Amino acid sequence: MKKIALLVISLFAAVTVSNAQVCALKSNALYLGIGAVNLGAEFSVAPQWTIDLSGTGVIFSPWKSVGDTGLYLNGWDAVAEARYYLCRAFNGHHFGAFVEAARFGQASAPYPFGSSTNMQNIQAAGLGVSYGYYFKLNTYWGIDCTVGMGAAVGRYSGRGWTVLPLPRAQVAFSYKF
């Protein structure tokens, strides 16, 4: 009985010791060009580790009015990323590993020389690695620049599953509190 009581007390002591958690709300400015709404949050879970969760919803795309030669899409994607900062969280260089899932109802992408491709019922999931730098502007505001590459498994327009490249680019304005 004494061993169980000691184990329970030890578990409660280990759980209550923690650092102050910091959260940053973010929005990727690169999505504005396609008329997408992007919101995210990054949580500090250790002095040099964070978890970044973000999602994008394409509600209105101004490019759809261009026609079949334009770029447009409608749907959503979600990204979860674990990041390791070389100095401390929300400051300087960071490396990460991410997982992403996406579903789009319709998309069109222009090719050179005026041709384009139209895809419907797009589903994809993948994972990859990233590198970035967090520019600390002041105590609360910052800019997070991240690039990454991975691989996804996806399908569209009733075709079978195929492996696709999964690029990642982010220039996010963040507010930390």
Does the residue 48 lie in any domain? Answer: yes
Domain count, the chain: 1
* Domain presence at residue 136: yes
User: Tens digit of pLDDT for each residue in 127-170?
Assistant: 999 999 999 999 999 999 999 999 999 988 778 889 989 999 99
CA-based radius of gyration for the chain: 20
46-86 per-position pLDDT tens digit: 999 999 999 988 755 555 544 544 555 678 889 999 999 99
Whether 32 is covered by a domain: the verdict is yes
User: Is 131 inside any structural domain?
Assistant: yes
pLDDT of residue 177 exceeding 80, the answer is: yes
In the block, which residue shows the tokens 């396609």?
A: 34
Q: How far apart are the first and last CA of the chain?
A: 44
Question: Rounded CA gap, 107 and 73, in Å?
Answer: 4
In a domain, 50, yes or no: yes
Q: Is 8 within the bounds of a domain? A: no
Query: How many angstroms separate the Cα of 37 from the Cα of each of 30, 62, 76, 82, 170?
Result: 10, 13, 9, 22, 14
pTM of the model: 0.76
Position 40 in a domain: yes
Report if residue 112 sits inside a domain: no
**CATH number, domain at 33?**
2.40.160
How far apart are alpha carbons 69 and 106 in whole angstroms?
14
Domain that holds residue 89: 19-63+75-102+123-150+167-176
